[in-house]
A and B are shown apart, each in its own frame.
Chain A
Amino acid sequence: MIGRLLEGVPRRGLVVLAALLVLLAVFPLFASGYLLAVGFLILYFAYVGQAWNVMMGFAGQLSLGHSLYVGLGAYAAAALYVHFGLSPWIGLGAAIGISVLAGAAIGFLAFRFGVAGVYFAILTIAFAEFARIGFDHFAWVRGSSGLFLPVANYTENDLWNLRGSPTMFYYLMLAMTVGAFVLCHALLRSRMGYYWLAIRESPEAAEALGVNVFRYKMYAVVISAAMTSLAGVVFAFYYNNLFPEQIFHISRSIELILGPIIGGIGTLVGPIVGAFLLTGLAEGLRELMLQLGIDVPGVKQVFYGLCLLMVIMFLPDGVWPPLAKKLGLHR
């Protein structure tokens, strides 16, 4: 199994990957609280970027509403914890179930009735907006006044209830990022992976070669939604407060897709590289401005915009593919 997973991966790539993993694993031993928070955020974006990439990068279906799955996951687990004291890992079952249903509904509506391309993207935005407005009036989860998780000073890490130190959350997020990477790697080499790429490149030709296009597009949406909702669960228990206006907001959906776009859509490493570059540099910039005593609101957004502009102009395939070539890591 492991042998098959590693088959065809360049040796240098494995060495770099292992080194990076060790670096990330020891990072909390040296990092300050602030750096640890930045580290968490980078890993969070690497993870959700990977999840989004399954839909867009592999199967070619553009979602601009992935905040929907983050939000549904976050609210499902948080509400079950607040109301019934259920562990977020039990809540995760509900989170995934609801997200998968939502994704399947969007996918069914779109793919059954031939809504594709830009129109599909608009549909995904619409559903995220429905949720944002709907949850604003959803009293069981406190509507627009927000849902708060009980917070205390934790001396012990309780992984079962996801109550604990930032270090615990950092390692959890790291494990998830690694897991998502391995999962996507395996998916890409499976029958499903080949079918997804075929659909992305030409749905007509894929169909003619025996691919059930509807079914495999549905798989992509559902898998991506399920992965994303797990990030939502962790997000909820990390930040301890949820507001529909924030979590379902379209800016969150956009933020989530910038990493893979900048890193390289459709590549396995792209979302990770993109998250590092974007979040790392944006936080660095913020810190620099702070040190210089310049306080400009919205500087992060302007920075994101600039990054996107540069990548689209000079590296339309993203940062990773040319970088991989330089490092001799491409296949």
Chain B
Amino acid sequence: MSRLELSGVSKSFRGLKAVSGASFDVTPGGIHALIGPNGAGKTTIFNVIAGVYAPDEGAVRFDGRAIHGLRPDQVCAAGIGRTFQVMKPFAGLSVIENVVVGALQREKDVPAAKRFAAVIVERLGLGPKSGLPASSLTLPDRKRLEVARALATRPKLLLLDEVMAGLRPTECDQIVAVFRELNRAEGLTILLIEHVMRAVMALAQHIVVLHHGEVIARGAPDVVVRDPAVLESYLGEETEV
């Protein structure tokens, strides 16, 4: 059974079709990437999965259970963690407090949540900044915080929305190593939206390409990046001069 399965998902905003008939699935324990040009509908798909929008048509199944139409907090409770492309830290709270909010999802009380949050914070390399307000963090640290909060909910599936964007190559490699480790050691399934191809190629075992709201290609990374339809969507149509 697929961990996540989208079948014929469509979502429009005032007649503008952001996603149209998208179908793909994510295998348990896999790392899948969702790529495509700006405006292809990647974040809309994430928001449909995470319960921010209900799809106009189609179904989203998580471990076989239909989750479309659930609220975001119910989707989280079901076992899907997500980060936001436009980061939304709890700016007035400290780093550790941010993560405690996520940890409370599975931990029975605040002290237990604090202990678990401390482990996650350490793992993402935010340990020394644990007591600082989230508003004082640099961009890479804010990205790490987004990931830490989502991980603290102990998801079975983690949705990462452009967490590598704006990072330097070394920072990018660091965070890629964290995801690899989580995937390997705990079997965490990951679906990521990413423009940084360095990260996509390093992480993803499977790529789904979206263009104008439609899935135009899917498969192994080295195959997908040579697909003429994919090249065309990124670089434009080849024309004779």
User: Across the interface, do B90 and A202 meet the contact criterion of CB distance under 8 Å?
Assistant: yes
User: Across the interface, do B100 and A194 meet the contact criterion of CB distance under 8 Å?
Assistant: yes
Interface: A204 (CB within 8 A): yes
Stretch of A16-24, A33-41, A113-121, A209-217 on the interface side: A209-217
Q: A191-B110, A194-B100, A197-B97 are in contact. Are A210 and B76 (CB under 8 A)?
A: yes
B187–chain A nearest beta-carbon distance, Å: 21
User: Across the interface, do A198 and B90 meet the contact criterion of CB distance under 8 Å?
Assistant: yes
Stretch of B21-29, B54-62, B81-89 on the interface side: B81-89
Binary contact track A188-205/B, C-beta < 8 Å → 1, others 0: 011100110110111011
User: Across the interface, do A208 and B110 meet the contact criterion of CB distance under 8 Å?
Assistant: no
A202 proximity list for chain B (CB < 8 A): 88-91
B52 proximity list for chain A (CB < 8 A): 204
Known contacts A197-B93, A206-B101, A208-B50; 11 further A-B pairs (Cβ under 8 A): A189-B110, A190-B110, A191-B104, A194-B113, A202-B90, A204-B88, A205-B149, A207-B73, A208-B81, A208-B84, A209-B73
Residues of chain B at interface, number, CB under 8 A:
29
Contact-size category for A: 20 to 34
Interface: B109 (CB within 8 A): yes
Give the residue name and chain of the A residue nearest to B76 (CB).
Answer: A210
B149 proximity list for chain A (CB < 8 A): 205, 209
User: Across the interface, do B97 and A194 meet the contact criterion of CB distance under 8 Å?
Assistant: yes
Q: A194-B97, A201-B93 are in contact. Are A208 and B76 (CB under 8 A)?
A: yes
Q: Is the interface of A mostly helix, strand, loop or mixed?
A: helix
**Cα separation A209 to B155 with both chains bound (whole Å):** 10
**Cα separation A212 to B92 with both chains bound (whole Å):** 20
* B-to-A contact residues, CB < 8 Å: 50, 52, 71-73, 76-77, 81-82, 84, 88-93, 97, 100-102, 104-105, 109-110, 113, 149-150, 152-153
* A-to-B contact residues, CB < 8 Å: 189-191, 194-195, 197-198, 200-202, 204-213, 266
Give the residue name and chain of the B residue nearest to A202 (CB).
Answer: B88
A213 proximity list for chain B (CB < 8 A): 73
Most B C-beta atoms less than 10 A away, residue of A189, A209, A212, A213: A209
User: Across the interface, do A197 and B73 meet the contact criterion of CB distance under 8 Å?
Assistant: no
B89 proximity list for chain A (CB < 8 A): 201-202, 205
A208 proximity list for chain B (CB < 8 A): 50, 72-73, 76, 81-82, 84, 150
